[in-house]
Structure 1
Amino acid sequence: MVPLSRDLVVLVVDDNVGMRSIMTAVLRALGFGSIRLADDAIEAQKMILQVKPDLIITDLKMPVLDGVTFVRNLRADESHPFSEVPIIVATGHTEEKHVRACLEAGVDQFIAKPITGRALAERITHALAPDREFIRTGSYNGPRRPLGRAFPMSEGD
């Protein structure tokens, strides 16, 4: 696993205050010192240029703007300085249609709630891998993935 760094800035986007609190506690336990919180995707969009995140962890289902649309909008704007930032979706909605929507939007990793520290650390390690390639095609903007493999899965998944 890639060592996790205190110097990295993580932006957590979730409309549930309890989930933001849990995510913050888990990220702190993993060694992250700079964690910024957004109540929803609209707030996150406004914060990104100020926060300068190295990683975004977002919920899928949020009012006004859902996580998939948030990711798709960010990825589509090539001129945005953070359009290629690694993104993890953390959600309780793990049906295939939701996973597929996240993949198509350009999400790096997907993690099911309730999260564990180990599973989150693995997803972060994959999302921040030094060999991560980002591609832009006519219909897809996101990380390059090996064919036939959506997300790396851990033993506990």
Structure 2
Amino acid sequence: MVPLSRDLVVLVIDDNIGMRSIMKAVLRALGFLVIRQANDAVEALKIIPDIKPDLIITDIKMPVIDGVTFVRNLRADESNPFSEVPIIVATGHTEERHVKACLDAGVDQFLAKPITGKALADRITRALSPRRQFIRTGDYNGPLRPVGQSPLGMDAD
């Protein structure tokens, strides 16, 4: 497991203030000191250039721009210096179609709510792996997923 860096800037995007508070508390317990928050993807897109996140954790279901569209749009914008930042989706919407949409959009890791500190630490460690590679193809911009590595936090057989 890669040690988690306290100097990283983490952006949490969720329209639910209670969930943002829980996420912030868990991140603080894991040792993160710089945690920024956005109410939705629109606000996140506005503040990303100023806060320069090293990691983004977002929900899927949000007003105006949902999490999947946010990820897809951020990843597709090659002129944005943060288009390749690691992204974790933390959501209660764990149906296969939601997971697939997130992966297709270029999410690094998927985390089912309710979250635990251990599960979040695991997903962060995986998302920030020094071996992480980012690829751009005609219809996919996101992390290269080696065979046998699951974004769900479980290694495939």
TM-score bracket relative to the smaller structure: over 0.9
Q: Is 1:11–1:35's contact at 8 Å kept on the other side of the alignment?
A: yes
In structure 2, what residue type is equivalent to 1:91? T
Q: Superposition pairs for residues 63-74 of structure 1, below 5 Å?
A: 63-74=63-74
Q: Is 2:111–2:152's contact at 8 Å kept on the other side of the alignment?
A: no
- Which has the larger displacement, 140-149 or 69-78? 140-149
Give the TM-score, by structure 1 length: 0.96
Aligned to 2:36: 36
Q: Is 1:60–1:93's contact at 8 Å kept on the other side of the alignment?
A: yes
Say yes or no: does 1:25 pair with 2:25: yes
Q: Distance in 2 between matches of 1:148 and 1:130?
A: 17
Q: Is 1:122–1:154's contact at 8 Å kept on the other side of the alignment?
A: no
Q: Distance in 2 between matches of 1:146 and 1:62?
A: 30
Give the TM-score, by structure 2 length: 0.96
Structure 1 residues without counterparts, runs of 5 or longer: none
By how many angstroms is 1:152 displaced?
A: 4.8
Count of residue pairs brought into register by the alignment: 155
By how many angstroms is 1:154 displaced?
A: 4.3
SS in 2 for 1:71: helix
Q: Is 1:13–1:38's contact at 8 Å kept on the other side of the alignment?
A: yes
In structure 2, what residue type is equivalent to 1:80? N
Q: Superposition pairs for residues 1-150 of structure 1, below 5 Å?
A: 1-147=1-147, 149-150=149-150
Q: Distance in 1 between matches of 2:124 and 2:153?
A: 12
Structure 2 residues without counterparts, runs of 5 or longer: none
Q: Is 2:68–2:102's contact at 8 Å kept on the other side of the alignment?
A: yes
By how many angstroms is 1:146 displaced?
A: 2.0
Q: Distance in 1 between matches of 2:144 and 2:44?
A: 25
